[in-house]
Amino acid sequence: MLDITLLGTGSPMPDPNRAGPATLISSGDTHFLVDAGRGVMMRLAAAGVGAGQLTAVLLTHLHSDHFTDLNDVITTRWVMTFEPTPLTIFGPVGTKTMVDHILASLAPDISYRIAHHADLGYQPPVTVVEMVEGPLDVPGDVTVRCAQTDHKPVEPSIGFRFDHDGAGVVVAGDTIPCEGLDDLCASANALVHTAIRKDIIETIPLQRMLDTLDYHSSPQDAAETAERAGIGTLVLTHYVPAIPPGGGDDWRELVAPHFSGSVEIGDDLHRVRVSSP
């Protein structure tokens, strides 16, 4: 059994109701945080999971909206645990440089706290593993692997597949339909996929918005990916434009002709339990 918690269902556009992209995949005491967007520590607190309880952080790509609060995860885990609690961050090539820069930006804070707290005599213990495909070396009985997705010119970008006790969940991140994602989705039970409403965005006469159309999936694209793989549950997130709280019926209507399974669209902290069929 695997639990999916949509920690943040927003996008780069600030929204009072939706935090930035972040998804929690849990099984018992195992918790994988996929992406760490705006407000992620607040949403983790609401989900009842502390930074110290994260098994690992997994990043799909290095667009800022997907990691902007990673610094908060690093600091909170360091300060709110009382013995060295290494944090492993998996991500595509480039993640190590990005994390090194976060740690450099935190250097004054780190020095203040080490000087002030006699029992905090160590730097935040962070390990970065860069990869684009294959199994992740993680503790516990949930297996995780990743494969390359297609979010060009953001390259590489990756998606993740989680398996536990016959239940399989894929977290796609931002991508257009592609072979790597299809491979991850084969025989999975649920797909968590970011989506933008191309039918709405293409009517906005702003080139910067129009630029987003060619490297994201529409709800229909995500539905077709899920349908091709025979997936039972499609979980949409990263709603562009933002869906009003409790809304989403228009999104469901768009998806329905393309997907025969169940569709989950929700507010932040919406939870979906996935069991072996």
Collapse the DSSP code of 70 into the 3-class scheme (helix H, G, I; strand E, B; otherwise coil) and give the result.
helix
Cα–Cα distances (Å) from 188 to 134, 160, 196, in that order, read 16, 11, 23
For this structure, is 69 an active site residue? Answer: no
Measured distance CA(234)–CA(272) in Å, rounded: 10
Is residue 63 part of the contact set for Zn ion (CB under 5 A)?
yes
Name the minimum Å distance from CB 108 to Zn ion: 30
State in angstroms the smallest separation of the CB of 263 from Zn ion: 22
Residue 38 interacting with Zn ion (CB under 5 A): no
The site map against Zn ion for 136-175 (x = CB under 5 A) is: --------------------------------------x-
How far apart CA 27 and CA 37 sit, in angstroms, is 22
Minimal distance, residue 191 CB to Zn ion, in Å: 17
| SS3 assignment for 182-199 | HHHHCCCCEEEEEEECHH
# residues contacting Zn ion (CB under 5 A) = 2
Annotated catalytic residue, options 15, 65, 163, 221? 65
| Closest by CA position to 173, among listed 188, 151, 153 | 151
As given in the structure block, the two tokens for residue 191 are 């797909």
Does the footprint of Zn ion cover residue 35 (CB under 5 A)? Answer: no
Residues 246 and 267: beta-carbon distance below 8 Å: yes
Q: How far is the CB of 208 from Zn ion (least distance, A)?
A: 14
Contact footprint for Zn ion (CB under 5 A): 63, 174
Catalytic residue numbers read 65
